Amino acid sequence: MTDIRQLDQATIDRIAAGEVVERPASVVKELVENSIDADASRVAVTVDAGGTERIEVRDDGAGMTEEEVRLSVKEHTTSKIGDIDDLEAGVATLGFRGEALHAIGAVSKLTVRTRKQGTKQGTELTVEGGEVVDVSPAGCPEGTTIEVADLFYNVPARRKYLKAEATEFSHVNSVVSGYALANPDVAVSLTHGDRETFSTEGRGDRRSAVMAVYGREVAANMVLVEGTDEDGPLDGVSGLVSHPETNRSTREYVNTFVNGRWVTATAVRDAVVEAYGRQLASDRFPFAVLALDVDPGTVDVNVHPRKLEVRFADEDGMRRQVRDAVESALLSEGLIRTSAPRGRSKAAQTEIAPERADRSGSEASEPSDTPDASTGLARRPETDPERDTNTGGAPAWATTDTETAERASEPGNEADSSPGEPGVERISTGNEGVRDRRDRKFRERPAQATFDGSNPDDHAFDTLPSMRVLGQLHDTYVVAETDDGLVLVDQHAADERVNFERLRERFAREVTTQALAEPVDLELTAKEAALAEAAAETLSQLGFHASLVDDRTLRVTTVPALLADEAGPELVRDLVADFADGDPDRTVEQAADELLGDLACYPSIKGNESLTEGTVTDLLRALDACENPYACPHGRPVVIELGTSEIEERFERDYPGHGS
């Protein structure tokens, strides 16, 4: 570090970014970054009431003289850069704007107690509402302690937008956890009120830091990442990623550090998830603590006012390197088999057709045991005749494909027109089949008939438009013809809506609980444990009885009876994590709707899933009976309609003379 100085106007103009103080977590982030930049070996963070009443960050770093501390609270003063040339070369330190302490002091009562290393006396400086009200000598240890009280006391309009205490502390927890994991050689602790949330040892062992923040179970299931053979902008990729089975419903546990800076780097997170391929469900995310080393000149950390995001000059190259590094680590542990894109390599299921053709053109036999692509073990289709596509688990029609059709590029493939369906082009396979994009074969569907063989005129839906089902697109969308054009139905969103309304109807009648035969103990991360107590009352009203039996263990004793067969006690962990992101003033009914909306997703038909003809018809009938068949419980559209007029315009059928 160099001496603190006032920046020149040219540099100020380049880095001016407006407000940096949005909530308590913003304050904590700036202060922790300053402590780490000051070469602290210990950083202790303490907050009261989620940080809205008091924040204290104490370190044993370089400290400041009286002159330096006076400068530090002025606008655009910093020790991180000297001028615009330093900015152009790339910023290697965590903080650099020179506005953090000034901005914090402007909206709070700020006290700085500091003593420079090697000096005998410290200084205490107090700021209220942006004005320095006192500077005096103080006896204090080497390093710096900054206390922020009554945040936004003089800006009531901003204070009223703060969330509940649990929510604000959740954000603080995320920030401190991130920097504790990014700096395993620094002993970092977080205390909320009189309870220590976590404390790392600072021995340089990243796995030890993971255990302190996320718990022993997560730490034991982390895999070492040690570089990549791919060429690209990164000088190094290292850290830890979790086994596929150790996951959560939120991507926030995918921690990324760029040159030591804890950032929300969406491109990096996506690359990490891509490396897992089919080993993760689409709504589950791994734990990751990944450090990226890159030339500071090739990454822009000035994208966001609070330095939460970064921009890479070569983002594609970075993604390749991260994906390769994580994939190599997982492959070396035997945790993945291939690098197939996420969601594409699941075992194929029965196509929408009554018959299948094998390689020689003969009809396929009954499905047999086939290896599951992800485990290598044989899977059998569900055979329970009572199972319904909307009651949870794998439906009765889910079977495993036994053949992979030849590629569409084989000789003899040519376009022709199917009998009885003028103008519909087919791809001839030489085996009387129709090939879809996944190289499967289908028997020709009889013209003017639904998949269950009945007359299409018999299938009219009162709420949905009357439709005749034509097939599936990409095993994800049901395609149907209506009087006014073409309809696409998202099969997952449709089944999710059906499941949601059924669950909501049952929940509205009565909320009964079912005691577990044996209580289930769930190990929580530091953040989850901090939220568990605040979420307990809402969980209880929803039918989940859970309580902390120690700092990190949540014991679940009952679950709602109507969910007992559809979701296990582990769901409580996801609900606790979601609690911080909800409206603190929401009612139990609103919380129930959010819960049921999430639960409706579990048993629903997924995308990339082939459906039988009867399943499609049953799904549309159930959707038609819904109160709102046009949106899933999360607000996504279920049905999209393309009108005849729009289709005709796209094909330019109104050109002169066409009518004759």
**The dihedral formed by the CA atoms of 342, 348, 354 and 355, expressed in degrees to the nearest 10:** 130
User: Cβ(50)–Cβ(168) under 8 Å?
Assistant: yes
Q: Is residue 342 assigned to a domain? A: no
* The domain boundary residue, chosen from 409, 425, 444: 444
Query: What's the average model confidence in pLDDT over 108-119?
Result: 95
Which of 444, 476, 496 marks a domain boundary? 444
Considering the domain architecture, whether residues 176 and 34 belong to the same structural domain is answered as: yes
pLDDT at residue 608, rounded to an integer: 85
pLDDT at 20: 64
pLDDT of residue 512: 81
Q: Examine the pLDDT at 407 and tell me if it is beyond 60.
A: no
Say if 627 falls within a structural domain.
Answer: no
Q: What is the pLDDT of residues 16-32, one digit of tens each?
A: 433 468 899 999 998 99
Structure confidence by residue, pLDDT tens digits, 328-344 = 999 999 887 544 443 33
pLDDT tens for 274-284 read 999 888 887 78
Check whether residue 398 and residue 298 sit in a common domain: no
Whether the pLDDT of residue 578 is over 60: the answer is yes
Q: Do 145 and 44 share a structural domain? A: yes
Mean residue pLDDT of the chain comes to 76
Longest dimension (CA), the chain: 100
Secondary structure of 243-285 in the HEC alphabet?
CCCCEECCHHHEEEEECCEEECCHHHHHHHHHHCHHHCCCCCE
Of 161, 195, 229, the position where a domain reaches its end is: 195
Q: Does a structural domain hold residue 497?
A: no
Domain identity same for 120 and 185: yes
Side-chain half-sphere CA neighbours of 42 within 13 A: 10
Residue 617 placed within a domain: no
- Estimate the crossing angle of helix 206-214 against helix 526-542, to 10 degrees: 20
How far is 623 from 607, CA to CA, in rounded Å?
17
Q: Are residue 108 and residue 185 in the same domain, yes or no?
A: yes
Is the Cβ–Cβ distance between 605 and 389 less than 8 Å?
yes
Radius of gyration of the chain (CA): 30
Structure tokens at 340: 């197939």
pLDDT digits (tens, 9 = 90+) for 163-190: 888 889 999 999 999 999 999 999 999 9
**Structural domain contains residue 53:** yes
| pLDDT value of residue 467 | 86
Q: pLDDT at residue 350 above 50?
A: no
- Asked whether the predicted pLDDT for residue 575 surpasses 90, the reply is no
**Residue 603 has what pLDDT?**
77
Distance CA 591, CA 602 (A): 17
CATH number of the domain where residue 117 is located:
3.30.565.10
Q: What is the CATH number of the domain that holds 299?
A: 3.30.230.10
Q: Is residue 360 located within the same domain as residue 439?
A: yes
State the Cα–Cα distance between residues 202 and 208, nearest whole angstrom. 9
pLDDT confidence of residue 346: 35
State the total domains in the chain.
4
Q: Please check whether residues 238 and 352 belong to one and the same domain.
A: no
| 73 and 152 both lie in a single domain | yes
Tokens linked to 320: 């390749």
Is residue 143 within 8 Å of 115, Cβ to Cβ? Answer: yes
Average pLDDT on 516-534 reads 89
Do 234 and 96 fall within a single domain? Answer: no
626 in a structural domain: no
- Sheet of strand 261-263, all strands in order from the earlier edge strand to the far edge: 222-226, 234-242, 288-294, 254-258, 261-263
Domain contains 153: yes
Q: Is residue 452 part of a domain?
A: no
Do residues 407 and 542 share a domain?
A: no
| pLDDT above 70: percentage of residues in the chain | 69
Give the pLDDT confidence of 634-653 residue by residue, as tens digits. 888 999 999 998 888 888 88
Do 122 and 156 belong to one domain?
yes
User: Domain of 274?
Assistant: 221-332
Same domain assignment for residues 165 and 291: no
Note whether 312 and 294 are within 8 A (CB).
yes
